[in-house]
Structure 1
Amino acid sequence: MRSFLSTSIDREAALCFAQAGAHDVEKVLFVIEADTHRQTAPFASISHLSYFRTEDEVLFMLGAVFRIEKVDCDGGVWVVKLVLCSKDAHEIKKMIDHMKKEIGEGEATFYSLGCLLRKMGKYEKAERCIQRRLRELPQNHPHEAPCYHLLGNIADDKGDYTLALEHHNKSLSINLHTLTPDHPHIGYSYNSIGGVYNVMGDNESALQNYEKALSIWSKCYGKNDERIGDVYNNMGNIYLRENKLNLAINNYTRSLEIKKKVLPTDHPSVGDIYMNIGSVYATKGEYDMALSNYDKALRIKTKSLLPTHPSIATTYKNIGFVHEDTNKHQLALEYFQKAAMILHHSLPSTHPWVVTIEDAIRRIKSKLKYIDQSSLFSSVIRLSSV
């Protein structure tokens, strides 16, 4: 917070204030969870000092940091669940400041809201915001290109890769007609197009686009920029799929070195790289190293993302695969079910990630059933031989 925040422990009083606004604005109610047993708390009840004592006013201090847990709409009022972060949340604050720079700290628009919602894993709401922003813009407006680019990223997140390519190519076409060929925005298009080809399994097209992005961004930003780290990570994904494990780990390591220099410690992008490094070790059969890196990824993501974010589910899924490969089937099932709970909350049932996790759950249940039957059969054999 950049100013003192006045709140009330009386929900009905707060709702009255929310509903008293103009009819053409959104009504928002913030529900804050705070530990009242802290020795040093950045809030205090001032109802005994307030002129309106029935409002049960609680004042939060300047600089308080909150974590968004959940956003719902209830009877025309948006309800945002917040949790007050601890006083040692310096890294969280650094990450929030970094994300503000990514999204933009200027005038709030449906584009900036769409960016934020996408980072929260709220893809449907993000898409609606960007479509509304496009309707606001006059034809051939320069902001059309970033809108189509973000729609491409959202379609990619939702598993609609054909639509993702369509949006990204439209954004690229606009930029190529309005910008110089080595403009950094064109690098974003090439990197994102490479990402779609990557998940579609077209490694050659993905690498071609990644190399174009790397060439443009290296000239614009130098070798130690966050975007350069993104490309190395993405190229590592392709080499992992091609089972070129040394090339994969080299690219992931270069990416991690860059990200740790320029990003907050608990930035989710750092967690993504630890997860990818873990996948290399899992492929090599070095399961202890795989779990060590997955645990680092999970610790970062649970700190920096909403509990329902699909990226946390992906980490649970990968940990489950390691336990399955090491014949710890019950543990594997527990992690697969954690992943499934998140994915069903965040993604449509037809999304490839949802299909994959449901297949994994069926497979591991079948293995557990087979083990139980084998144990029973073995007991019968032993009893019969007595």
Structure 2
Amino acid sequence: MDRSVALVYADDTKSTNRHVKGVLFEIDANPELFGIQPFANISSISQFEDEAEVLFAPGSIFRIVHIFSDHSMWIIRMVLCGDNDHDLTPILNHMKKEYTDNAETHVGSLGCILVKMGKFDQAKRYLVRCFEELPPNHYNTGVCHHYLGIIASEKGDYDSNLECYNKSLKIKRLYLAADHPSIAMTYNCLGSIYLAKGEYTQAIVSYNKSLRIFKRKHGINHINIAECFSNIGCVYFKQKKYFEAQDYYRNALTIQQQQLPSNHYHIGESYVNLAGISWIFGELESALKYYKNALDIFQKSLPDLHLRLALVYHGMGAVYVKKKQFQEALSNFERAADIWRHILPSNHPHSIKVTRNIQYCRHKLNQ
């Protein structure tokens, strides 16, 4: 294929809108890969004889390998995947079931997906537009408030987050029974905000309200139970009750490994939690192993610039500092900083902390 021709089209956006950048897709497609959707070089029948063209069939699945800017345009590198791609198939099947079974996502589906991808600004624009098109106190405004609350939490705006969740809960109560799973979901989210604000007693109260509803509706081995266990473990961790936290984290991981695909990001999050416990106990090799397990999962299931990846890199950096391997620590801190630079404001606690850690490692290396 002639890259220069593609660059002409990608660069053409400048002539129509100076605020828009062109995008160039670089696709690696192996025709011998089993189970792929068909594609073909159609240059010989193209209307434009001097252009090379490849046609991909509808339903083709691509793995995004890397996204970066060369200042003049965005470059997206992708690989064509087959039906039997063992990394993707379980994840895709689980995601299809998750989004078709979840009544919460019928209005906010795109917003929910964007939130889980870490695309918070795009998700907020979409949800605000949905919210503005709905009448006051419509059930779906509660759904929008819920996801806007998640975005505010990820941005570190906990007061706005708490306001969104309380509005969501108020609207849901107008339509749903007190023990509806959607109510439990909001209690769970409220618990996370109280946890972030350091109000641990209130966090436990909210998590236990959620846990009781989910147990009545789903039994003890449901994935929502695992989420409650994981969150309660986080409260105990903050309270420095590390053995209790470890028990809850392990129980959450056991359920997740039974109910989720092996590369699901929730399993990765449990590895991160257990890594934190190992780090506290001084079990550095165990902590590093958990972080590497989490990194392997996140690299397969999340976009390159996702918040969770940055948290893993930062955690690994902290372990290497304990091991006095400052070059490795610096490398991981810089990876975390690069991700947070793209998705968080410079005054966010994560951004401030990683900057200090980078300065510390550089100081140690220059001694």
Q: Mind listing any 5+ residue stretches in structure 1 that lack a counterpart? A: 1-6, 19-25, 373-386
Residue number in structure 2 paired with 1:297: 294
2:181 alignment partner, one of 184, 204, 215: 184
Partners in 1 of 2:75 and 2:130 — Cα distance?
Answer: 23
Kindly provide the amino acid, as one letter, of the partner of residue 131 in structure 1: V
Q: Which residue of structure 1 lines up, in the alignment, with residue 88 of structure 2?
A: 92
Distance in 2, Cα, partners of 1:80 & 1:99: 27
CA displacement at 1:58 relative to structure 2? 1.6
Aligned to 1:46, which of 11, 34, 41?
41
Distance of aligned partners of 1:8 and 1:151 in 2 relative to their CA distance in 1, 3 Å threshold? farther
**Structure 1 residues 39 and 119: alpha-carbon distance in aligned structure 2, compared to 1, 3 A threshold:** closer
Q: CA deviation at 1:99?
A: 2.5
Q: Could you tell me how far apart the structure 2 residues matched to 1:97 and 1:29 are? A: 29
Name the stretch that deviates more: 81-90 or 182-191.
81-90
What do residues 247-275 of structure 1 show as CA deviations (whole Å, max 9, x unaligned)?
11111111111111221111111111011
Q: Following the alignment from structure 1 to structure 2, what is the Cα–Cα distance between the partners of residues 145 and 8?
A: 50
- Whether contact under 8 Å (2:10, 2:24) holds in the other structure is no
Quick check: 2:232–2:245 contact (8 Å CA) kept in 1?
A: yes
Q: CA offset at residue 50 of structure 1? A: 2.7
Give the equivalent residue in structure 2 for 1:239: 236
Q: Which range is displaced more, 360-369 or 305-314?
A: 360-369
Amino acid at match of 1:138: P
| Structure 1 match to 2:111 | 114
Give the alignment's TM-score, normalised by structure 2.
Answer: 0.86
1:60 pairs with one of 52, 56, 63: 56
* 2:347 equivalent to 1:347: no
2:130 maps to 1:133:
yes
Match of 1:154 in 2: 151
Q: Residue type matched to 1:34 in 2?
A: D
Which segment drifts farther, 242-251 or 86-95?
86-95
Secondary structure at 1:308 match in 2: coil
Aligned twin of 1:325: 322
The aligned runs of 1:167-316 (5 Å cut-off) are 167-316=164-313
Aligned residue number for residue 21 of structure 1? none
TM-fit CA distance, 1:365: 2.8
User: After superposition, what is the alpha-carbon deviation per residue over 1:304-345, rounded to whole angstroms, capped at 9, x for unaligned?
Assistant: 111111110100000011111121122111111111011111
For 1:352 and 1:118, the matched residues in 2 are separated by 20
Q: What's the offset of the Cα at 1:195?
A: 0.6
| Deviation digits for residues 87-125 of structure 1 (CA, Å, limit 9, x no counterpart) | 45233132123224434499x987222112111211111
In structure 2, relative to structure 1, the CA distance for the partners of 1:341 and 1:182 (3 Å cut) is: same
Q: Distance in 1 between matches of 2:26 and 2:38?
A: 11
Kindly provide the amino acid, as one letter, of the partner of residue 140 in structure 1.
N
Specify the SS of the correspondent of 1:56: coil
Higher Rg? 1
| Alpha-carbon distance in structure 2 between the residues aligned to 1:71 and 1:228 | 38
How far is the alpha carbon of 1:82 from its aligned partner?
A: 5.2
Report the 3-state secondary structure (helix = DSSP H, G, I; strand = E; otherwise coil) of the residue aligned with 1:219.
helix
| Root mean square deviation of aligned Cα | 3.2
Report how many residues are paired: 353
Q: Note if contact 1:104-1:112 (Cα within 8 Å) is conserved in structure 2.
A: no
Where does structure 2 lack aligned partners over 5 or more consecutive residues? 14-19
Residue 138 to residue 71, structure 1, CA distance change in 2 (3 Å): farther
Paired residues of 1:8 and 1:14 also in contact (CA < 8 A): no
